[in-house]
């Protein structure tokens, strides 16, 4: 009897925690009647959709492009609940939100584009992340929320919740908050169910299931979202309500140089920089360190922190974002500090120097190379999102466009060994200060920064 009582109590706790999702799913209108595909139509590829046992079942077809079953109606703000199952790790799927169809796209085969709730059972486990189908690629890879990678279960039904309210899209799987994106495009569009393209025999005939699709479009109430989950905010120089609640602060207000000064000055440089029109603009000069207005640093000092910034390079440009800059070292060039490299890898010669690519984009300059795929590097002239996280235990991570490209332990033996064979060996205890300034580098090339924000991490 005692064992039964404990199990009953645990079951009651679980039901109580899951109630906000379950109640909403039962109280909102259905998108699918459980018997027919009325209200839906297929676009793009040739994959098959049928209704079986109260579920929409999509089946992969060899050499078909991505295929979508989309709603006849368009939706703006909504909360969508559904259950989904994918039977194989070889498959991939997703749920389109506020999306669109271009019949002329994809060489006349038709192109669906818009934000997608990703269903990814592969080894990288990015289910619940947010992908921009047919347009911008990944917006929220699950490297940004590694603890959520094991929430989605292959071969069984998973409950999905998607909130699209205003400019914000949030996702949940099985009651666990996953991803948060603030975006400025697509105020409305259709909802779609994806069967991904396959090109190998072993991928053909695989099924993905969707059932219990319910949508709420009025009286929308957001579920609480944990403060420690990173938000991808694509609205320049702004903080969402969730970011503000989590303790994020803007380091650039979009208009002024407030909070910054020259690395060798008491004030902001009188030349070489422009802080207008939403941009911190490094003006081109001689292509050398400190050849223009010079580096700029934050007025404040930081120890453990989460730093996010957007940057845009011009062809052949070189710059950097440094941290733990103490300004105590005597140097004729740029101020000394740990550096997130900002570089045109294809045109600037520095990319070929150093060791094993440790001077390329997003690397810890002259120490650790960034491991990155070309698809996650936005082209020159486009905005990229950089991120540096320094945890209270001195674990450090670099990200590029949401993908983790390196990590290390500041002050560890492995770190010291790297410093010993680098250009920094001449500086005692390089990069090990308890706190320091954040720095934007003037390397004499034209570079743009915006959306610079930081969150202090409590020790």
List, for residues 370-427, the tens digit of each pLDDT value.
999 999 999 999 999 999 999 999 999 999 999 999 999 999 999 999 999 999 999 9
Which pLDDT belongs to residue 19?
A: 36
Within a domain: residue 231? no
Within a domain: residue 46? yes
Residue 242 banded pLDDT, cuts 50, 70, 90: very high
Domain that holds residue 177: 2-216
Question: Cβ(342)–Cβ(386) under 8 Å?
Answer: yes
Q: Tell me: do 175 and 241 sit in the same domain.
A: no
Residue that is written with structure tokens 């950089």 in the block: 386
176, 182, 187, 193 alpha-carbon torsion, rounded to 10° = -40
Q: Give the integer Cα–Cα distance in Å for 186 and 25.
A: 25
Retrieve residue 364's tokens. 């810890």
Q: What's 323's domain CATH number?
A: 2.60.120.560
Within a domain: residue 191? yes
Q: For residue 275, how many C-alpha atoms fall within 13 Å in the half-sphere facing its CB?
A: 21
Does the structure show a pLDDT above 90 at 21?
A: no
Does the structure show a pLDDT above 90 at 181?
A: yes
CA angle 94, 98, 102 (to 5 degrees): 85
Mean pLDDT of 193-207: 84
Mean pLDDT of 262-275: 95
Q: Tell me: do 267 and 406 sit in the same domain.
A: yes
Does the structure show a pLDDT above 90 at 329?
A: no
Helix (H, G, I), strand (E, B) or coil at 426: helix
**Can you list the alpha helix ranges (DSSP code H) found in 27-60?**
none
List, for residues 142-168, the tens digit of each pLDDT value.
999 999 999 999 999 999 999 999 999
Residue 17 banded pLDDT, cuts 50, 70, 90: very low
Burial 116-149 (b: 16+ CB within 10 A, else e): bbbbbbeeebbbbbbbbbbbbebbbbbbbbeebb
Which pLDDT belongs to residue 288?
A: 75
Q: Give the integer Cα–Cα distance in Å for 174 and 159.
A: 5
E-assigned strands of 8-129?
40-44, 48-52, 55-59, 67-71, 78-86, 93-102, 111-119
Question: Cβ(13)–Cβ(19) under 8 Å?
Answer: no
How many domains would you assign to the chain? Answer: 2
Which pLDDT belongs to residue 197?
A: 77
Q: Among 216, 245, 273, where does a domain finish?
A: 216
Which pLDDT belongs to residue 105?
A: 92
Within a domain: residue 264? yes
Q: Tell me: do 302 and 199 sit in the same domain.
A: no
Q: Tell me: do 241 and 286 sit in the same domain.
A: yes
Helix (H, G, I), strand (E, B) or coil at 417: helix
Of 19-23, 248-252, 271-275, 309-313, the least confident: 19-23
Q: Which whole-number Å values give the CA distances from 312 to 250, 282, 340, 384, 440, in the listed order? A: 18, 11, 14, 6, 13
Of 61-65, 77-81, 119-123, the least confident: 61-65
- What's the pTM? 0.91
**What letter does residue 23 receive in the DSSP assignment?**
H
Q: Tell me: do 370 and 318 sit in the same domain.
A: yes
Q: Tell me: do 39 and 71 sit in the same domain.
A: yes
Tell me the pLDDT of the chain averaged across its residues: 92
Q: Tell me: do 283 and 379 sit in the same domain.
A: yes
List, for residues 206-215, the tens digit of each pLDDT value.
899 999 999 9
Closest CA to 60 of 97, 93, 94: 93
Q: Tell me: do 68 and 207 sit in the same domain.
A: yes
Helix (H) / strand (E) containing 16: helix 2-26
Mean pLDDT of 32-37: 95
Within a domain: residue 224? no
Within a domain: residue 204? yes
Which pLDDT belongs to residue 52?
A: 96
Question: Cβ(141)–Cβ(126) under 8 Å?
Answer: yes
Question: Cβ(139)–Cβ(234) under 8 Å?
Answer: yes
């Amino acid at each position: 009897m005692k064992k039964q009582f404990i199990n009953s109590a645990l079951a009651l706790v679980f039901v109580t925690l899951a109630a906000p999702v379950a109640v909403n799913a039962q109280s909102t209108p259905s998108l699918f009647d459980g018997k027919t595909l009325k209200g839906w139509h297929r676009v793009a590829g040739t994959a098959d959709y049928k209704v079986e046992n109260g579920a929409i079942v999509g089946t992969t077809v060899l050499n078909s492009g991505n295929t979508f079953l989309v709603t006849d109606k368009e939706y703006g703000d909504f909360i969508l609940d559904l259950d989904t199952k994918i039977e194989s790790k070889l498959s991939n799927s997703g749920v389109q939100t506020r999306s669109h169809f271009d019949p002329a796209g994809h060489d006349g085969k038709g192109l669906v584009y818009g934000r997608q709730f990703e269903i990814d059972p592969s080894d990288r486990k990015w289910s619940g992340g947010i992908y921009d189908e047919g347009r911008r690629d990944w917006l929220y890879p699950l490297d940004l929320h590694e603890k959520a990678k094991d929430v989605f279960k292959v071969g069984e039904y998973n409950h999905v919740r998607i909130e699209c309210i205003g400019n914000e899209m949030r996702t949940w799987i099985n009651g666990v908050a996953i991803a948060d994106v603030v975006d400025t495009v697509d105020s409305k569009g259709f909802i779609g169910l994806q069967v991904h393209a396959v090109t190998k025999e072993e991928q053909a005939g695989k099924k993905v299931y969707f059932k219990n699709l319910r949508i709420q479009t009025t009286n929308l109430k957001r579920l609480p979202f944990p403060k420690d989950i990173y938000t991808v905010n694509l609205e320049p120089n702004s903080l969402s309500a969730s970011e503000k609640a989590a303790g994020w602060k803007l380091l650039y207000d979009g208009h002024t140089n407030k909070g910054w000064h020259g690395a060798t000055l008491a004030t902001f440089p009188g030349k070489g920089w422009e802080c207008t029109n939403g941009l911190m603009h490094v003006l081109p000069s001689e292509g050398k360190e400190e050849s223009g207005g010079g580096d700029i640093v934050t007025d404040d000092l930081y120890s453990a922190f989460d730093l996010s910034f957007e940057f845009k390079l011009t062809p052949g440009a070189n710059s950097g974002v440094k941290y733990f800059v103490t300004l105590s070292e005597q140097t004729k060039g740029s101020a000394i500090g740990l550096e997130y490299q900002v570089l045109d890898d294809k045109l600037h010669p520095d990319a070929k120097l150093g060791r094993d690519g440790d001077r390329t984009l997003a690397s810890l300059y002259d120490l650790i190379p960034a491991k990155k795929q070309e698809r996650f590097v936005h082209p020159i002239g486009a905005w990229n999102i950089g991120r540096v996280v320094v945890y209270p235990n001195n674990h450090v991570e670099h990200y590029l466009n949401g993908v983790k490209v390196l990590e290390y332990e500041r002050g560890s033996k492995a770190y010291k060994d790297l410093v010993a064979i680098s250009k920094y060996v001449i500086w005692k205890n390089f990069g090990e200060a308890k706190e320091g300034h954040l720095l934007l580098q003037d390397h004499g090339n034209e570079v743009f920064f915006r959306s610079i924000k930081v969150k202090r991490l409590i020790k």
